[in-house]
Structure 1
Amino acid sequence: MSSWCRSAFGAVRGVEPLVVLEQLGTSLFDTALLMVVKDRYADATHPGTGTRACGEDEQQKAMSDFYMVNNLIAQLTPIVPALLLAKAGDRGWRRVPVVVPLCGYLLSSVALLQVVLFGLPIQVMFGAAVFLGISGGFCAYWPGVMTLASLGSNTENRSQVMMRVELMYGVAGLLGSLLSGHVFLLYSSSVGHGTVLLYVCTLLNLLSLIHATVLLQVRQASSEPDESSPLLLHSSNSVPAETSSRKSTVNMVLLFSAAILYGSSVGGAVEILAVFVIKEPLQWNAAQVGYGNAAGFVVFLTSFLGAVAFRRCVSDVVLILIGMLSFASGIYFMSFVTASYMFYLARALSLFGLIPLPTIRSLLSQQVPSSLYGITLTALQLALRLPALAYIPAFTKLYQRTLDWFPGFVFTLSSIMAVMGMIPISVMGCRWSRHRRSQETEATTETRHADKDN
């Protein structure tokens, strides 16, 4: 019994419960923000007359403009704070990159609650986004979580450990999304839409902050060489150190390139998807928005199961290609969605779309010593955010200009970018195969020489 209690307490102190609490709060917050923005701009376009003062296209443009500004703030302000927090984490303060961003998440939920309770302008959320960015935001929080997951894991199971964390993230998001639309409507006649939902969201954010501050356990790095050999192109003892280092650098450049292209593809599509489902012909309500978000989080589960199944027969490089192809096909089908069932079919095609980024993080973490995990993973997260300067306004304005003739055009563009992301990973796969053949040839030659000497 005491052994079971120790195991349970150890599980509670792990990073997974923290991820569950935080993502439950975030999924509730995302639905609440979308519906509050919709209500505010609906009121703005129906100024007490009961008639439509301007068309649905104008409401879509106003909502997409709000999300463009809000997301740009959230993407750009964390750059310097995230680097500073990652540096502090690599110097031994491993909790800092997790705890500080959680304070920003808590303030954001409190700010949206004040907007609902006191009728404040929705632009107040821009200020909340600034504070979230100053606290590091997702740029600091997620690399901090992945660093904790990497510590204590070895190179053989690190990808699986990271995928397990992603799975818990997805399951929590699924549950939160399923409930969010229904909870949003509770007591709407007395205190306004979303009040109960935001109370629950704020409580969950507070609990996650307490967990990270008090309970979260930081494991020590497993025993492995401080200067790891390159993951895909392991050097033999006869290869000069600087040649090995150069190969590792090439690997990291290829991984960063693939991650940036794929991350921009996913980010641009998700940026538009939130407002796309509000307009005709879908015209979803709060409950349907929650179901749609839940369908997105199901991809975490299917991606985890796919990674576990495929890992037995394919390499990490092939796993990444499978995930990218899955997302590209699903988001291309999304271009032609005109009914809810078609939306869910498009989501089903993307069932392995979450495999690439966790696997890329795992490969990157194996290219550097454990003392650089935090800064490397944070650099990747920032590299995923910097292109937001281009793709967020580009996708938003392109969506606004194609509303009349092809609203799904941005999803076709996203699919093309995902396919482009497969190119650097394919190059890495070719280099890996070539190097393995070279190693096999060298091994055969050495065996023959040994046999002759005997």
Structure 2
Amino acid sequence: MATSSWCRSTFQVFRRVEPLVVLEQLGTSLFDTALLMVVKDRCATANATNPGGEDDQQKAMSDFYMVQNLIAQLTPIVPALLLAKAGDRGWRRAPVVVPLCGYLLSSVALLQVVLLRLPIQVMFGAAVLLGISGGFCAYWPGVMTLTSLGSNADNRSQVMMRVELVYGAAGLLGSLLSGHVFLLYSSSVGHGTVLLCVCTLLHLLSLIHATVLLQVKQVSSEPEESSTLLPHSSNSVPAERSTRMNMVNVALLFSAAILYGSSVGGAVEILGIFVIKQPLHWNAAQVGYGNAAGFVIFLTSFLGAVAFRRCVSDVTLILIGMLSFASGIYFMSFVTATYMFYLARSLSLFGLIPLPTIRSLLSQKVPTSLCGFTLTALQLALRFAALAYIPAFTKLYQRTLGWFPGFVFTISSMLAVLGMIPISVVGCRWSRPRRSEEAETTETRHADEEN
């Protein structure tokens, strides 16, 4: 009887979203390292006879990633919206299953590039396929929607941060292993083949899990009519005014997410290329360790969110995360040695708190039937912003290679600080009705005492 109960409990755990996130992120972290090293090798070969040397290689790599990332940001927009609509109409697995097909095709494409010595530009076509399937733009809001529907409003922020923690832990493990596995080869295959075979297998397993095992359940019971961003206002506040204040706060949350997402995305866009050049000049194993350091932030951000939530509001929590990332990425501007890189990373301990917390605020305060669409709209807003910051950061990096390669990180830090402004406004607007309500309650109590 005990064995049967244990088996049922284990099976229920495997039906949750966390195992899916682990499988997918393990595969993606392996894929990211493999793609970076393959691009480096191809660009180094193409510029072997070029007297321009390392700067030309850096420009070629940054141009490749700029084109690939622009494709990956632009093509998922319409498919992600369609998948979000399908999810809100009851097909909750669709925004998760369809993008996983794209991830599987991408890993197969890179494997063929390595085995058949195809041009690296083949990965542009793979990026198009990934975008048509919805990509991360559909996959992650789909995961967050399933998480929000399966949790209560009171603990939703913590549950979402737990999923982010699992995501980061899987990325940490995959990144630590990726550099070493990349170097494995036999006489018949070259570097990266074993890594990409494992990556493809993991993406296949994640697709099978999402299709067969993933459970969709809804424990949220808040009525749709009570979905407002602000606390319930007093009777003296007209409904139209409350709705108007709600929409303004939603817009402020979106603008803060866009500014902060642009800051993080622009920095990460350049960081992988930055560590390849002198004076760091990392190899595959060191690249894996560097990626792992980035995923450690998922753990520290989760622990920080759990600790700070006991004494501060969600708005203050977001500000702490933004300030943490801004200080860390500013220090990254002056990194000239490996130990300095890890010091800069350590300053960004809470850098992943803001976006999950913003998603949590939005998901709590919209009707259940619009939850998936709202989170996808936020993700699409970040994608549209990427169409601007990806070429801007890339060209700025290329222009400053000769005199200050870390200048892009200074710009990133400034964007993170700007993102703190709308969040601060939200905090002020949020506390104002509360103060008014408390004052009215105090006046009513005093009047009752006088009577």
TM-score after normalising by structure 2: 0.98
1:39 match: 41
**Residues 83 and 138 of structure 2 are in contact (CA less than 8 Å); yes or no, is this contact kept in structure 1?**
yes
Could you tell me which residue of structure 1 aligns to residue 278 of structure 2? 280
Letter in 2 for 1:44: A
Of the three residues 247, 250, 253, the one matched with 1:249 is 247
CA distance in 1 between counterparts of 2:184 and 2:346 reads 31
- Judge conservation of contact 1:158–1:362 (CA < 8 Å) in 2: yes
Distance change (3 Å), C-alpha of 1:397 and 1:43: same
Given the alignment, which residue of 67, 76, 94 partners 2:92?
94
CA distance in 1, matches of 2:222, 2:293: 39
Taking the TM superposition and a 5 Å limit, the aligned residue runs for 1:133-152 are: 133-152=131-150
Cα distance in 2 for partners of 1:352, 1:5 equals: 37
Q: Equivalents in 2 of 1:194, 1:281: separation in Å?
A: 25
1:382 corresponds to: 380
Q: Out of 4, 14, 17, which is 1:15 matched to? A: 17
Code of the aligned partner of 1:304: F
1:61 to 47, 59, 62: 59
Alpha-carbon distance, 1:448 to partner: 2.3
1:261–1:420 Cα contact (<8 Å) kept: yes
- Match 1:164 to one of 145, 162, 165: 162
Kept in 2: contact 1:40–1:122 (CA 8 A): yes
Q: Which residue of 2 aligns with 1:203?
A: 201
Q: Contact 2:151 / 2:218 at 8 angstroms: preserved in 1?
A: no
| 1:214-266 per-position Cα deviation (integer Å, ceiling 9, x unaligned) | 00000124211112342344323443322221121111101001000000000
SS in 2 for 1:35: helix
Q: Is the 8 A contact 2:227 2:367 kept in 1?
A: no
Deviations 1:17-76 (A, max 9, x none): 0000000000000000000000001111115xxxx6431000000000000000000001
Q: 2:7 aligns with which of 5, 24, 27?
A: 5
One of 215, 218, 232 as aligned partner of 2:216: 218
Q: What amino acid sits opposite 2:405 in the alignment?
A: P
Q: C-alpha offsets along residues 163-198 of structure 1, whole Å, 9 cap, x if unaligned?
A: 000000000000000000000010165311100000
1:439 offset after TM fit, Å? 1.1
Conserved 8 A contact 1:252-1:367: no
**Residue 355 (structure 1) aligns with:** 353
Contact kept, 8 Å, 2:34 with 2:196, in 1: the verdict is: yes
- What aligned pairs does 1:253-332 form with structure 2 within 5 A after superposition? 253-332=251-330
**Shift, 1:452, TM fit:** 3.9
Correspondence for 1:395 = 393
Shift of 1:274: 0.8
Match runs of 1:180-195 below 5 Å:
180-187=178-185, 189-195=187-193
Distance in 2 (alpha carbons) for counterparts of 1:69 and 1:229: 40
Q: One-letter code of the match for 2:114?
A: V
Q: Residues 153 and 220 of structure 2 are in contact (CA less than 8 Å); yes or no, is this contact kept in structure 1?
A: no
Aligned to 2:337: 339
Report the identity percentage.
84
Q: How many correspondences in the alignment?
A: 449
Alignment of 1:123-134 (within 5 A): 123-134=121-132
Consecutive unaligned residues in structure 1, runs of 5 or more? none
User: What's the Cα RMSD here?
Assistant: 1.1
- List runs of 5+ in structure 2 lacking aligned partners: none
Deviates more, 1:311-320 or 1:231-240: 231-240
- Partner of residue 446, structure 1: 444
Q: Deviations over 1:292-322 (max 9, x none)?
A: 0000000000000000000000000000000
Partner of 2:103: 105
State the one-letter code of the partner of 2:107.
Answer: S
What CA distance in whole angstroms lies between the structure 2 residues aligned with 1:451 and 1:341?
Answer: 66
* Displaced runs of 4 or more, over 4 A: none
- Matched AA of 2:350: F
1:12 Cα deviation after fit: 0.6
- The code of the aligned residue for 1:115 comes to V
